[in-house]
Chains A and B, each alone.
Chain A
Amino acid sequence: MFCRDFENIAGDLAAERLMEAGARERALRHSAECALCAARLNAERALDAGLRALAESDGDKKAPAHVKLALRATFDQQVKVFAAPAPALAPARLRNRTLWSLAAAALILFAIAIALLSRNTAPNPNDMSNGGDRPPTPTPAPREHAPPSVIEPDRRERKAEKLFARSSKPAVKRRAPSRTTALNDVAGNNETVTDYIPLTYLADATALESGIVVRVELSQSAMIAMGLPVNIERTDSRVKADVVVGDDGVARAVRLVQ
């Protein structure tokens, strides 16, 4: 046996733990021949004596009595809760159900209140006439100041624009999408415009009472989507167009500008 092997079992040897009889004999023989391993064994035995003394001194230690009393009270309480007869639990269940119902009702009322509040705070077209602090109305832009690259503005934005337009100029009749007006509008400019083309998905384009005209640049694909004629050789180019948008935010007609 080598010293390293001895070190591995010195603790078990000193503590007299069960081990293979042959290994124990070899270890004892080695300790008789090796002074340092004998010293190690002595030290381990001394340590073991110290540990035994510590274990003995602690041997009768236990948790104070009040711990048991508290635990027993908890146990009894738990047993009562789980062992209570069913009829005794029924009222509690009913109370729980009532509480849940009340909570649900309160939640529903809260949701309704929120909905009503949001409706009241939303801009009311009838109250817009004296809204002096509203943002300026995006009036139909003169052609020379038309936004150069507005492409299919978001419908909600247009609705907002429309609402603001109403707030400041409620009675303004936008340029009616009549062909003559449109042609007249551009008479003094170097722009050539087509007639307004009613968008095909509208059943009654003439029902428009008011609205705005927005100058946009359309991609060819957008024109295709609107059912407008497209020059397929110039599909990557953009085309200026005036779009008539009704009060409901729906585009009613479009004309191309060149």
Chain B
Amino acid sequence: MGKTGAHLSDEELLRLMLAGDGGAFDALYDRRQGGVYRFALRMSGSAEIAEDVTQDVFIALMRDSRQFDPARGNVAGYLLGIARHRVLRRLRRERSFVSMTEDGEDGAETFDERLISDADPLADLTRNETIDLVRQAVLALPEHYREVVALCSLGEMSYEQAAEVIGCPVGTVRSRLNRARGMLVRKLGAVKGAADSVADSAPDSVMAAR
């Protein structure tokens, strides 16, 4: 096998890896470890857990990869499926993530005040603070909502791919993501801020018509 194996598909790399090709293992690891690590990180909020899960996933790949069935999905989905099981098991054991504080509880600005403005939503925000707010809001979601956000909104997977990883119908992914986004919007105060700003400017007739 070539040094990088970049020209080979995941399935081919896996086959070579099973035949004992260390280069294929390296190539597959390099290609897929980031997605696994980030998914675990977004689900857990802990770099330590993400590290452990990544290691567990690839050890499981060495040990059980003969169970991989290409007819049921691709290698990336297979790895994320293992990662999902590991991270959920770990979270249930540790319950280590921190819930987000209630809106305005600490007198800080709400998300909508930072993110939504008349001109440019992100113009007057400190980017890192916004990212932290969003991260905390995602981590505060229930697990089954958090995972669809991690896969679809943050991992840019299609509904079909996410359904394959989670092992549920596509419609379930779609509805969960819709619910999750609604919860995030509420948590971040976006609707309130936006609605307030609209209500302030909109004529009463528009509100009554709705």
Residues of A within 8 A of B (CB): 3, 7-8, 10-11, 15, 34-36, 38-40, 42-51, 53-55, 57-59, 61-64, 67-68, 70-72, 74-76, 78-79, 82-83
- Chain A residues near B127 (CB-CB < 8 A): 53
> In the docked arrangement, what's the CA distance between A79 and B181, Å?
46
Return 11 A-B CB contacts under 8 Å, by A number.
Answer: A7-B178, A7-B182, A10-B181, A34-B206, A39-B198, A43-B194, A49-B121, A57-B131, A63-B51, A67-B55, A79-B22
> A64 to B47, alpha carbons, bound, how many Å?
10
* Cβ of A2 to closest chain B Cβ, rounded Å: 10
Any A CB within 8 A of the CB of B135 = yes
- Residues of chain B at the chain A interface (Cβ within 8 Å): 17, 20, 22, 25-26, 29-30, 33-34, 36-38, 41-42, 50-51, 54-55, 58-59, 62, 111-112, 115-116, 121-122, 127-128, 130-131, 133-135, 138, 149, 153-156, 177-178, 181-182, 184-185, 188, 190-191, 193-195, 197-199, 202, 206-207, 210
Q: A72 to chain B: which residues have CB within 8 Å? A: 22, 25-26, 29
Are B198 and A15 neighbours in the complex by a CB distance under 8 Å? no
> By CB atoms of chain B within 10 A, which of A55, A67, A75 has the most?
A75
Nearest to B195 among chain A residues (CB) is A39
Could you tell me the dominant secondary structure of chain A's interface residues?
A: helix
Contact residues in B for A59 (Cβ distance below 8 Å)? 38
Closest 5 CB pairs of A and B: A43-B190, A39-B194, A50-B134, A63-B54, A62-B34
Check B59 against A82 for contact (C-beta < 8 Å). Answer: no
- Say whether, besides A36-B198, A46-B115, A57-B131, A15 and B33 are in contact (CB < 8 Å): no
Which residues does chain B contribute within 8 Å of A67, judged by CB atoms?
A: 33, 51, 54-55
Q: In whole angstroms, how far apart are the Cα atoms of A63 and B39 in the complex?
A: 11
Option from B20, B156, B178, B199 in Cβ contact (under 8 Å) with A11: B178
| Cα A75 to Cα B18 with chains together (Å) | 10
Q: Is the CB of A42 within 8 A of B194?
A: yes
A102 to chain B, nearest CB (A): 31
Set of chain B residues within 8 Å of A38, measured between Cβ atoms? 198
Q: Say yes or no: A54 contacts B54, CB within 8 Å.
A: no
The winner among A8, A57, A63 for most chain B CB atoms within 10 A is A63
Q: A71 to nearest B CB, angstroms?
A: 5
Q: A39-B191, A76-B22 are in contact. Are A71 and B55 (CB under 8 A)?
A: yes
Residues of A within 8 A of B194 (CB): 39-40, 42-43, 46
Other contacts beyond A46-B111, A49-B115, A75-B22: 4, CB < 8 A: A42-B190, A43-B191, A47-B185, A63-B55
In the complex the two chains form, is A58's CB within 8 Å of B38's CB?
yes
